[in-house]
Amino acid sequence: MTLRAMRRRLLLQLPLALAAARAQARGQAPGGQDVVVARFGTLPAPERVRKVFAAGPPAGVLVAALAPGKLVGWPLTLGDEARALLGPPLRALPHTGRLSGRGSTVPLESLLQWAPDLVLDAGTADATYVSGARRVSEQTGLPTVLIQGRIADHAAQLRTVGRLLGAAGRGEQLAAEAEAAIALAGRVRASVPPAERPRVYYGRGTDGLETGLSGAINVELLDFCAGRNVAAEAGRGSLARVSLEQLLLWDPEVIVTQDAAFARRVLSDPLWRGIAAVRERRVHCAPALPFGWLDGPPGVNRLIGVRWLLERLHPGHPALRALEPFPEAVRRFHQSFYGASLAPQEVRRLLDGI
């Protein structure tokens, strides 16, 4: 290639490179999607952020992964078993309660007593959450940021919030892990035609009769991992109760849950034997500690659940064969995201559902 041709090529590529750099600076996900949904108040410089109040559970896990020393406390209740699987700084944090959503438990007076430099929320960014974030900022004077939190957004989410919290390097490291999980799911989806994807039901609760409809963030891993959510036939929405009669009509090929008692019971319950997943014993319970691998909360904690679910929906798939042993992936994820060094027996207990 001549010098003139090289210059011409560089000039043609320059606008694209500049656009990519500007998108990254704004915190955009691949394809130009901006994960920052709303900002209220004047945000502090990253180096001045010392204390962050997580408005809800997904934001709590996000801040814990990126800047554990800056998280004020947990917006969700964590028992001793969950805390034992976290690094020492996170294990000792108090319970602050949640600020966002209909189940808010934090009065604004209490929020002011925590004196955070920044209030952060993450998750399904609908109009209700945006108006709630605006109200918090206007009534307290605290800068507030709302971040989009779908599974495909997690890499951009980690980079963006890492920069906001003065943890850009850690954000890049964790974003790379998120990209690997997202890419793995993408390869499987690309290789399995929609009509050949297994029909899956996600059973929530002790009776397994709560699930998510089409579009619900709580069940988005099902489609993301090349499955077909049977409850999507009931329309779009969020969480809903269903009947066993409806489940018999849907006849899922695979049932997944995070409730170990339900998973054990359904395999021996004669009322469920008419469902293909039960007859074929394709009922799988994902770990729920310290946070759910499928949901609970629907945050970056689900990244380890991507491979878990892919292996249950598509056992033996070529994209999964060359990966490191799953127990090692679990150990590495807990070290990277939660600062916890799990012993081999702790990993085994997680995977066995004990």
Least confident span in 43-47, 100-104, 238-242, 272-276 = 100-104
Last residue of a domain, one of 135, 159, 183: 183
Percentage of the chain surpassing pLDDT 70?
89
pLDDT of residue 202: 98
What rounded mean pLDDT belongs to the chain? 89
- For residue 155, pLDDT over 90 is answered with yes
Q: Is 40 among the domain residues?
A: yes
- Is the residue at 9 inside a domain? no
On the question of pLDDT at 121 being above 60, the answer is: yes
The mean per-residue pLDDT over the stretch 213-234 comes to 95
Same-domain pairing of 198 and 256: yes
Does 176 lie in the same domain as 199?
Answer: no
Instruction: Tell me: do 155 and 27 sit in the same domain.
Output: yes
pLDDT band at 130 (very low <50, low <70, confident <90, very high): confident
Max CA pair span of the chain: 76
Confidence (pLDDT) at 103? 67
Indicate whether 7 belongs to any domain. no
**Rounded mean pLDDT, 279-303:** 96
- pLDDT of the residue at 151: 94
Domain at 202, CATH number: 3.40.50.1980
Other beta carbons within 10 angstroms of residue 323's beta carbon come to 14
Same domain, 34 and 170: yes
Residue 10 has pLDDT above 80, yes or no: no
- Across the range 118-137, mean pLDDT stands at 86
Residue 11 belongs to a domain: no
Q: Is the pLDDT of residue 21 over 50?
A: no
pLDDT at 101: 61
- Across the range 29-35, mean pLDDT stands at 56
Distance CA 41, CA 46 (A): 15
Query: Does residue 342 belong to any structural domain of this protein?
Result: no
Residue 3 in this model has a pLDDT that exceeds 50: no
Position 173 in a domain: yes
**Is residue 24 predicted with pLDDT exceeding 70?**
no
Please name the residues in contact with 61: beta carbons below 8 A apart, sequence gap of 6 or more: 291, 297, 299, 300, 301
Distance from C-alpha of 56 to C-alpha of 10, rounded to nearest angstrom: 45
Based on the fold, state whether residues 32 and 173 are members of the same structural domain: yes
What local confidence, expressed as pLDDT, does residue 102 receive? 63
Q: How far is CA 279 from CA 53, 114, 174, 200, 274, in A?
A: 47, 53, 40, 14, 7
Tell me whether residue 3 is in a domain.
no
Domain match, 174 and 199 both: no
Across 334-349, average pLDDT: 95
Taking residues 32-37, report their average pLDDT. 75
58 DSSP 8-state letter: H
Same domain, 213 and 136: no
Would you state the pLDDT for residue 126? 75
Q: In terms of domains, do 269 and 209 share one?
A: yes
Among 29-38, 68-77, 110-119, 237-246, which is the least confidently predicted range? 29-38
Over range 234-263, report the average pLDDT.
95
The predicted model scores a pTM of: 0.87
Local confidence band at 124 (pLDDT 50, 70, 90 cut-offs): confident
CA-based torsion, 17, 22, 26, 32: positive or negative: negative
Whether 283 contacts 263, CB under 8 Å: yes
| 283-285 vs 254-257, strand pairing mode | parallel
- The domain in which residue 269 lies consists of 192-323
Model pLDDT, residue 14: 34
In a domain, 352, yes or no: no
Q: How many domains does the chain have?
A: 2
CA end-to-end distance (rounded Å), the chain: 62
Q: Which residues contact 7 (CB under 8 A, 6 or more apart)?
A: none
Instruction: Indicate whether 44 and 154 sit together in one domain.
Output: yes
Peptide bond connecting 297 to the previous residue in cis, omega within 30 degrees of 0: yes
The pLDDT-based confidence of 279 (bands split at 50, 70, 90) is: very high
pLDDT band at 232 (very low <50, low <70, confident <90, very high): very high
Residues 40 and 123 in one domain: yes
pLDDT at 175: 97
What's the average model confidence in pLDDT over 204-222?
94
170 and 256 both lie in a single domain: no
Task: Give the pLDDT of residue 104.
Answer: 79
What pLDDT does 34 receive? 81
Report the distance separating Cα 12 and Cα 215, nearest Å. 40
Residues 138 and 284 in one domain: no
Tell me, letter by letter, the H, E, C secondary structure of 168-234. HHHHHHHHHHHHHHHHHHHHHHHHCCHHHCCEEEEEECCCCCEEECECCHHHHHHHHCCCEEHHHHH
Query: Which of 153, 183, 213 corresponds to the end of one domain?
Result: 183
